[in-house]
Amino acid sequence: MDKHFVWLDCDTGTDDAAAILCANGLPELEIVGISAVAGNVELEKTYRNALRLNRLMGTDYPVYQGAEKPWRKELETGYRYHGENGLGGVELPLPERYPEVTEKAWDALYRAAVRYEGALELIATGPLTNVATALVKYPDLKKYLARIVIMGGSAGAGNRTPAAEYNIYADPDAASAVFQAGIPLVMCGLDVTMKAYFMEEDLLAVKAGGTTVGRLFHDSLQAPLQTQHGTGVKLHDVVAVMYAARPDMFDGKMAGVRVETRGGCTNGKTVTDLYSDKKFPDKNVFVVLDIDHARFVREVSELLLSYRDLE
Ligand code: RIB
Ligand code: CA
């Protein structure tokens, strides 16, 4: 089995939490570090939520704080879907002790990338502010990152506006910098993540395991579930993690992709040339388009049911 050394950059909200739980459980992945970015909720909350998951998983992954706001725009949080605490109102304790880390996310990411000599992969499931800041501060970072797998964007419709998906919309300038960086990039956009749904019975089956992980998974996703008109809750961020570990569960195509950063109603749109006669000069992104849904539900459920309560 190929082992992937990964860094998770998250705006830990409900599906980011599920993604971290899956990443920790996947034997194909070894988490090197976790960084928090403002997005679904404010930075302080996304940071503490990542720490809370360390306690829940019984791990002590280093967790770093990154950007409190997007490069140019004001922060637009997602309380409606993630609750004010980012975990859908589910309360988890912080670790009893954790280091007061002052090193910023982008500095820690660069240090890890150099240490892993080009083997480190970045999985980003929130706005790309931290990633882009790292690329600007350390222009040679592109030599040390094997690839970037993001949850973000869409070749079709948006979910924050009719045109744009939230992670890109939240910081389109940062996203554009990442898409143009020349690092191998995999885009797990709404095209595939809208197909990565769990129905209430699937959530209940995980909760039936009787663990705190199962309760967090089910209970934290109730608000987004209720907004999906019976089509199930979409585990957007889990797709990026599962792709990084088990890409044969998915299908996609290389395409030219650009990010609109100055549009009015199109600001934050990922413009792809997948379906147009006119093509961009380069195919810079692997756009994930399809998923083996039954396998996704089965294997994500297995990963979450493998946890046992530690306290
Ligand atoms: O559009 C879905 C994305 O926005 C996910 O990453 C979710 O956590 C929110 O950040
Ligand atoms: Ca997210």
pLDDT in tens, 95-141: 999 988 999 999 999 999 999 999 999 999 999 999 999 999 999 99
pLDDT tens for 200-252 read 999 999 999 999 999 999 999 999 999 999 999 999 999 999 999 999 999 99
The pLDDT value recorded for residue 159 is 97
The pLDDT value recorded for residue 173 is 98
Q: Is pTM beyond 0.85 here?
A: yes
The response to whether residue 169 sits with its C-beta less than 6 Å from ligand 1 reads: no
Split at pLDDT 50, 70, 90, the class of 311 is: confident
Query: Any idea which ligand is nearest the CA of 239?
Result: 1
Split at pLDDT 50, 70, 90, the class of 49 is: very high
Q: Which helix (H) or strand (E) holds 239?
A: helix 236-245
Q: Strands of 47-196 (E only): list them.
A: 63-65, 120-124, 145-151, 185-188
Q: What atom of ligand 1 comes closest to residue 159's alpha carbon?
A: 1
pLDDT tens for 264-309 read 999 999 999 999 999 999 999 999 999 999 999 999 999 999 999 9
The pLDDT value recorded for residue 1 is 81
**pLDDT (average), residues 157-166:** 98
Q: How many CA atoms lie within 13 A of 253 on its CB side?
A: 10
What Cα–Cα distance (Å) separates residue 122 from each residue in 4, 154, 166, 264? 10, 19, 19, 30
Residue 123 in tokens: 């999985």
Q: Whose CA is nearest to atom 1 of ligand 1?
A: 166
Residue of 33, 48, 47 whose CA lies nearest to 92: 48
Residue 152 in tokens: 């973000």
**pLDDT (average), residues 75-103:** 94
The pLDDT value recorded for residue 191 is 98
DSSP codes, 53-79: HHHHHT----EEE--SS-SSSPP---H
**pLDDT (average), residues 142-171:** 98
Query: Is the model's pLDDT at 2 over the cut of 90?
Result: no
The response to whether residue 39 sits with its C-beta less than 6 Å from ligand 1 reads: yes
pLDDT tens for 60-76 read 999 999 999 999 999 99
How many whole angstroms from 309 Cα to the centroid of ligand 2? 25
Query: Any idea which ligand is nearest the CA of 170?
Result: 1
The response to whether residue 166 sits with its C-beta less than 6 Å from ligand 1 reads: yes
The response to whether residue 40 sits with its C-beta less than 6 Å from ligand 1 reads: yes
The response to whether residue 191 sits with its C-beta less than 6 Å from ligand 1 reads: no
How many whole angstroms from 14 Cα to the centroid of ligand 2? 8
The response to whether residue 16 sits with its C-beta less than 6 Å from ligand 1 reads: yes
Catalytic (active-site) positions: 236
Q: What atom of ligand 1 comes closest to residue 15's alpha carbon?
A: 8
Identity (one letter) of the amino acid at 210? G
Best residue among 16, 190, 195 to mutate for probing ligand 1, ranked by most atoms within 8 Å of CB? 16
**pLDDT (average), residues 84-103:** 95
Query: Is the model's pLDDT at 52 over the cut of 90?
Result: yes
Query: Is the model's pLDDT at 83 over the cut of 90?
Result: yes
